[in-house]
Structure 1
Amino acid sequence: MTDTVPVTTWYLEQTSPGDLAPARIPDEASGIRIERAGTPSPEFSRFLYASVGVDVTWTDRLPWTYARWREFLERPGVETWVAYEHGTPAGFIELDGATESGVTEVSYFGLLPAFRGRGIGGHLLSYGTARAWDLATRWDGFPEVKRVWVHTCSKDGPYARANYERRGFRVHRVEEGREPDATHPGPWPGAGPRD
């Protein structure tokens, strides 16, 4: 039998583009830039997912096949935006506007452990959320976005929920439950939290 741990999940939303409270934009010398991954790449998306989720037990997509990754990434309304610092991937935000009419989900967001705590996350979340509100202008046939939502849980990083709230997201639902006590998968064997 697998051990379980208690988990609190917070669902947060914005219901107007005016809800977004943007973070400070890093200066040019920081070497921070944000770019859309314009070509769907299962290998790159799995790298981002496993590397960002290394110490927060992101495991639900690890069993996905190459075909499953490709199918998801090629859906209209799915976009991956990557933050780079001097050319090195620092984190990503994944938008899924193909879930419900007029609703965009921030399906994944986070930074690789080495890039946390330096203001990159606030900027990336601001940028990605603004893009989420603007999704209909980039995908023919998509309705105007009326809601952007995200969820985070007590297994995520200790500052995740606060970052969402600083960017203007509001908690609209809370769930308590239990989940398997998963080990830290990491992007390669033996990878895990750094001391």
Structure 2
Amino acid sequence: MIEITTTHLQQLSAGELRPSSRALPADARIERVAEITPEFSKFLYQGVGSGWNWSDRLSLTRSAWESLLRAPGSETHVLYVDGAPGGYVELSGRIEDSGTEVEIMYFGLFPQCIGRGLGGALLTEGLSRAWDLDARVGGFPPVSRVWVHTCSLDGPAALANYEARGLRIFHTETELVEPGDGAAGLWPGESLAS
């Protein structure tokens, strides 16, 4: 068991978004994957999250994973660098009493893209797409809130990036947990440092 601190952050209006001052380089682009498959989603999830012990979805069946991806308001936006996936943002919109709330379910970069100034641009795009999600999803009222949580197991720049983009902390909690092995099945027999 280890102690983990989880920090919840939010924006209550699109005007709170502070875009990254760094533009994507010429060899990079961000695209929404309109019909993402569970296989591609799991590839992104493991490629980004294996080093940070993301494991909450690893026990899901293919049909359960697909159900999450097909839920109204679910979107995945992928960062490509030199034609290869370099990171992603998964959004999950839900209708609440106050309007549409969008959670950034997953956000991160593949290891080879960390430290290259890409995270701010990817998060800026993810937040922008969260704020206009209702324009792409029929029957959803205007977005009233965008939120995310990060924990002490995530990348060391995660919290600073969220705050730099204008997200504000609204709740913090600490708990003892048994972390899962996010690298399970990624590269059997090899450590992530290989």
Does residue 1:78 correspond to 2:77, yes or no?
A: no
5+ residue gaps, structure 2, are none
1:79-158 equivalences under 5 Å are 79-98=75-94, 100=96, 101-158=99-156
Matches of 2:47 and 2:95 in 1, distance apart?
A: 25
Q: Determine the C-alpha separation between the residues in 1 that align with 2:4 and 2:164.
A: 22
Indicate the residue corresponding to 1:166 in structure 2.
Answer: 164
Q: Which moved more, 1:17-26 or 1:163-172?
A: 17-26
Give 1:183 shift: 3.3
Which of the residues 15, 34, 37 maps onto 2:33?
A: 37
Q: Label 1:26 to 1:95 Cα distance change in 2 as closer, same or farther (>3 A).
A: same
Find the aligned partners of 1:140 and 1:99 in 2 and give their Cα distance: 12
Q: Which residue of 2 aligns with 1:188?
A: 187
Residues 67-102 of structure 1, C-alpha deviation per residue, up to 9 Å, x if partnerless? 011111111100000000011000000000036442
Aligned: 1:5 with 2:5: no
Aligned pair partner of 1:14 in 7, 11, 14: 11
Distance in 2 (alpha carbons) for counterparts of 1:22 and 1:80: 19
Q: Quick one: which amino acid aligns to residue 79 of structure 1?
A: E
| Aligned CA distance change for structure 1 residues 69 and 183 (closer, same or farther; 3 Å) | closer
- Would the aligned equivalents of 1:184 and 1:192 in 2 still touch at CA under 8 Å? no
Residues 99 and 105 in structure 1, CA contact (< 8 A), matched pair in contact too: no
1:65 to 61, 65, 81: 61
Find the aligned partners of 2:93 and 2:189 in 1 and give their Cα distance: 35
CA contact (8 A) 1:93 1:125 kept: yes
| TM-score of the two chains, using structure 2 as the length reference | 0.93
Structure 2 counterpart SS, 1:95: strand
TM-score when scaled to structure 1? 0.93
Contact 1:54–1:191 (CA<8 Å) still a contact in 2?
A: no
CA distance in 2, matches of 1:163, 1:20: 12
Aligned-pair identity in percent equals: 47
How big is the alpha-carbon RMSD for the aligned residues of Structure 1 and Structure 2? 1.4
Q: Give the C-alpha shift of residue 51 in structure 1.
A: 1.0
Distance 2:141 2:191 in 1: 41
Shift of 1:27: 3.6
Gaps of 5+ in 1: none
Q: CA deviation at 1:191?
A: 4.7
